Chain A
C-alpha cells in the first residue's frame, strides 16, 4: 500500500525547508524541465502528492512529484517555467540545492483503483503529476484491468517525457493516445483536444476509474465527457491547482469553497467538486 500523509510525523517547524541537492537535471522542452532531488531522509509519497520547492532567495512554489513512488530516496519534479520561482528553479544544475518541504496532500487513488480499468488523462504539464500513477500501474500491472492514457499538448514541441511516451506506446496491454492542438505536416498523430480520443480507448465504463490533471477548463470538459461515457462521478478524480503559500492549511490561499486544495486535495473526487467547479471565480 502506498504510504500516506498520516504516516508522517509533522516537523516542528513546518514552514522551514530542508536544503536538498539536485542530482539530475533534464530539459524536457523549451519551457519544461525535470530534476531529481536526493532528500536527506527517505521520503515516501503517494502518486499525486506535491512538495513545496524553494529557490534560494527567490521564493517557493508547490510542485507535484513526477517520479516513481517506489524510490523514496529520489524525488523527481517536472516544472514549467512560468514565473520568477519556476524560472529560477529552471536555472539550476546538478549539485545545486533546492529548499524542500513535503510531501503534502492527498494523491491519486491507486489503491482503490485495483481491479478497475484505469484511465489517466493529462493536459500539458498535467501529465507530470500523473506520471507517478502511471509508473505505479505499470509496476503493479496485474492488479488492474485495462489501462489507458490520454495526453494532450499545445504543439508537438510542447510534449514532455517524449522518449517515455514511445516506450509506453510499445508496452503491451497499455493504451496511449497523444493529441496536440496545433501541428505541422510532420505530425502524424491526433490533432485536437483529448476528449474525443476517449472513444478510442477500450474500457468498461461501469468498472473504470479515471484520473485527470490539466488546466481547469480541460478538467471540466474531460470530466463531463467521462460522465457522458458512463463513468460514475464518484469514480472520477481530478487534481486541482490554486495559489498556495504554506501547503499545511494555514495560509488560506488555496481555498476552493469548503476545501483546502493543499490538504483536502490536490486530488479530489469529482462528485465532491463538480458543483463548485460550475461557479466562476470561486
Chain B
C-alpha cells in the first residue's frame, strides 16, 4: 500500500455498496463502523445499510454522545471508542497449548490466522496508529506471528475525515486528517445537499483492481477541490491542539514536576486510556492448566501500565503510586516512544480524553507542564 498515485474517481452510494460486495466476494471479512450501544463501534458489515447513516458524535473530556445529523452522511462522525487494534492485536489470544504425556510434554503454538480482514472507514490517525504498532510487533528482531499474518492480508479502505471531533488533535501530531499513505482505497464523502458521492483515491494494485469492479467515473477538478475543502475544513476545526515538536525533552526533563502529583489526584488508574488508545500495545500472559494438570495453555491479553501488577517484581510493584503510573503512560506515549520506535506513540485521535471517566486531557497535562517548566527554572 502506498501513497495515492493517480487521478481520483467518483463513486455513488450504490457504488460503495458494489465495492463492499466486491470486497466480500474477494474473500474478505468486511469490518466497518456500526451503531451499537449508543456508540459507533467496528463490527462485521454486509452492506452500506449497516453503516451509521445520518449519525454523528459529540465528544469532549469524559463525554461521548451520538447525535443525528441533518443529512445522510455514512462517515459523518469522528472516531469511536474502538480502534483497529481490536482486530490486528487481539484483546485475548491463546498463544499455545501444551499436553503432558507421562514424563514429557509438548507445546503446540496456536496456528497463525488466515482471515483476510477488510477495514472500512479507517481514519488517517488510525492508519498512523497501525503503522506505529507495525514497528512494535513486526519491526524488530522478534515478530508477532498473529499480528503479522492478519496485517499482511488486511485491506484498508480509508476515509478522509469530514469533521473533527471535540477531542481530536491529529493536526498537532501530523497524523491527519488527510489520509496520505498506507491504504488500498481512500474515500472522501462529498455531500452538497443534492447528491451524495465519494471521491476515491487508489493506493495499491489491489485497490485499483477493486475500483475497476465497480461503476465509477473520473472526478472533475471541481470535485477534487471539494474533497480538498472537506479535509481543509476538518483540519481547521480540531477540538484540541498540542505542541508536539519538543515533547521528549520537555517531559523527560520534568519527571519530578508537581503536575504528576496533581493529575494523580484525579486519575482513577482505570486503564480506559490504554484500552482505547490505538497504539498502546502492552500485554500480559496467563498460564492456565486443566484440573488433571495434563493440559496447559498460555493466553495473552491486553494489559495496562496503570495496574499494580504490571510492574510487580518480588518485593513489590516498581510503580506503586498512581502518579508514577500516569507518568509512565504519558512519558512513554509522548517521549520515550520516540527513542524506542522513531516516532511519537500518539496520533492525536483524542480517545484517551473522551473515554477518561474523569476527563483527564493529555493536551492539557502537557500544557500544564510546559507552562511551568521546572527544568528551565520555573517555580510551580
A interface residue numbers (CB < 8 A to B)? 5-6, 10, 12-19, 54, 56-60, 82-83, 95-97, 99, 241-243, 245-246, 248-253, 255, 257-258, 260, 263, 279-282
List 8 A-B pairs, Cβ < 8 Å.
A12-B145, A18-B107, A60-B298, A242-B318, A253-B284, A281-B319, A281-B320, A281-B324
Among B105, B281, B319, B340, point to the contact of A56 (Cβ < 8 A): B105
* Interface pick from B29-37, B94-102, B195-203, B236-244: B94-102
Query: What is the size, in residues, of chain B's interface with A at 8 Å between Cβ atoms?
Result: 55
Is B296 an interface residue when CB atoms closer than 8 A count as contact?
Answer: yes
In the complex, besides A19-B106, A99-B107, A253-B311, 5 extra interface pairs with C-beta distance below 8 angstroms are: A15-B109, A243-B310, A245-B303, A249-B141, A251-B303
Where chain A touches its partner, the secondary structure class is loop
Is B255 an interface residue when CB atoms closer than 8 A count as contact?
Answer: yes
B interface residue numbers (CB < 8 A to A)? 95-96, 98, 100, 103-109, 136-137, 140-145, 252, 255-256, 281-285, 287-289, 293, 296, 298, 300, 303, 305, 309-314, 318-321, 323-324, 328, 331-332, 335-336, 339-340
- Expressed in whole angstroms, the Cα–Cα distance for A5 and B137 within the complex equals 18
| Cβ of A242 to closest chain B Cβ, rounded Å | 6
| Cβ of A85 to closest chain B Cβ, rounded Å | 8
Which residues on the B side are within 8 Å of A13 (C-beta)?
A: 95-96, 109, 145
Flag if A250 contacts B319 (CB, 8 Å): no
Flag if B305 contacts A252 (CB, 8 Å): yes
Flag if B136 contacts A250 (CB, 8 Å): yes
> Which chain A residue has the least Cβ–Cβ distance from B309?
A243
Among B140, B310, B324, point to the contact of A263 (Cβ < 8 A): B140
> Which chain A residue has the least Cβ–Cβ distance from B285?
A245
Flag if B336 contacts A15 (CB, 8 Å): no
Flag if A97 contacts B104 (CB, 8 Å): yes
Which residues on the A side are within 8 Å of B104 (C-beta)?
A: 19, 97
Which residues on the A side are within 8 Å of B309 (C-beta)?
A: 243
- Expressed in whole angstroms, the Cα–Cα distance for A5 and B288 within the complex equals 30
- Expressed in whole angstroms, the Cα–Cα distance for A249 and B145 within the complex equals 14
Flag if B282 contacts A56 (CB, 8 Å): no
- Expressed in whole angstroms, the Cα–Cα distance for A6 and B142 within the complex equals 11
In the A-B complex, the 5 residue pairs with the smallest Cβ-Cβ separation, listed nearest first, are A57-B289, A252-B282, A281-B324, A258-B339, A248-B142
- Expressed in whole angstroms, the Cα–Cα distance for A19 and B104 within the complex equals 8
Flag if B144 contacts A279 (CB, 8 Å): no
Which residues on the A side are within 8 Å of B287 (C-beta)?
A: 54, 57-60
Among B107, B108, B144, the one with the most A-chain Cβ atoms within 10 Å of its Cβ is B107
Which residues on the A side are within 8 Å of B293 (C-beta)?
A: 56-57
- Expressed in whole angstroms, the Cα–Cα distance for A242 and B318 within the complex equals 8
Which residues on the A side are within 8 Å of B285 (C-beta)?
A: 15, 60, 245-246, 251
| Cβ of A125 to closest chain B Cβ, rounded Å | 10
| Cβ of A240 to closest chain B Cβ, rounded Å | 10
Q: Please judge, given known A-B contacts A251-B303, A281-B324, whether A56 and B100 are in contact too, CB under 8 Å.
A: yes
Which residues on the B side are within 8 Å of A246 (C-beta)?
A: 283, 285
- Expressed in whole angstroms, the Cα–Cα distance for A241 and B311 within the complex equals 11
- Expressed in whole angstroms, the Cα–Cα distance for A260 and B136 within the complex equals 12
> Which chain B residue has the least Cβ–Cβ distance from A280?
B324
| Cβ of B163 to closest chain A Cβ, rounded Å | 33
| Cβ of B246 to closest chain A Cβ, rounded Å | 16
Which residues on the B side are within 8 Å of A255 (C-beta)?
A: 328, 332, 336
Which residues on the A side are within 8 Å of B335 (C-beta)?
A: 258
> Which chain B residue has the least Cβ–Cβ distance from A14?
B142
| Cβ of B133 to closest chain A Cβ, rounded Å | 10
Which residues on the A side are within 8 Å of B340 (C-beta)?
A: 258, 260
Which residues on the A side are within 8 Å of B105 (C-beta)?
A: 19, 56, 97
- Expressed in whole angstroms, the Cα–Cα distance for A227 and B107 within the complex equals 48
Flag if B289 contacts A10 (CB, 8 Å): no
- Expressed in whole angstroms, the Cα–Cα distance for A70 and B165 within the complex equals 60
Flag if B143 contacts A245 (CB, 8 Å): no
Flag if A15 contacts B255 (CB, 8 Å): no
| Cβ of B149 to closest chain A Cβ, rounded Å | 11
Which residues on the B side are within 8 Å of A10 (C-beta)?
A: 141-143
- Expressed in whole angstroms, the Cα–Cα distance for A277 and B93 within the complex equals 35
- Expressed in whole angstroms, the Cα–Cα distance for A179 and B320 within the complex equals 32
Q: Please judge, given known A-B contacts A17-B107, A57-B296, A243-B310, whether A250 and B142 are in contact too, CB under 8 Å.
A: yes
Q: Please judge, given known A-B contacts A14-B142, A250-B142, whether A57 and B288 are in contact too, CB under 8 Å.
A: yes
Among A10, A96, A250, A255, the one with the most B-chain Cβ atoms within 10 Å of its Cβ is A250
| Cβ of B282 to closest chain A Cβ, rounded Å | 3
| Cβ of B143 to closest chain A Cβ, rounded Å | 7
Which residues on the B side are within 8 Å of A6 (C-beta)?
A: 141
Which residues on the B side are within 8 Å of A19 (C-beta)?
A: 98, 104-107
Flag if A56 contacts B98 (CB, 8 Å): yes
| Cβ of B140 to closest chain A Cβ, rounded Å | 6
| Cβ of A93 to closest chain B Cβ, rounded Å | 11
Among B95, B141, B296, B313, point to the contact of A5 (Cβ < 8 A): B141
- Expressed in whole angstroms, the Cα–Cα distance for A263 and B281 within the complex equals 16
Among A16, A57, A82, A263, point to the contact of B95 (Cβ < 8 A): A16
Q: Please judge, given known A-B contacts A56-B289, A243-B311, whether A252 and B303 are in contact too, CB under 8 Å.
A: yes
| Cβ of B113 to closest chain A Cβ, rounded Å | 13
Flag if B107 contacts A242 (CB, 8 Å): no
| Cβ of A53 to closest chain B Cβ, rounded Å | 12
Which residues on the B side are within 8 Å of A56 (C-beta)?
A: 98, 100, 105, 289, 293, 296
Among A5, A241, A251, the one with the most B-chain Cβ atoms within 10 Å of its Cβ is A251
Which residues on the A side are within 8 Å of B140 (C-beta)?
A: 249, 263
Which residues on the A side are within 8 Å of B100 (C-beta)?
A: 56
Which residues on the B side are within 8 Å of A241 (C-beta)?
A: 313
Which residues on the A side are within 8 Å of B331 (C-beta)?
A: 257
Which residues on the A side are within 8 Å of B284 (C-beta)?
A: 245, 251, 253
Flag if A279 contacts B98 (CB, 8 Å): no
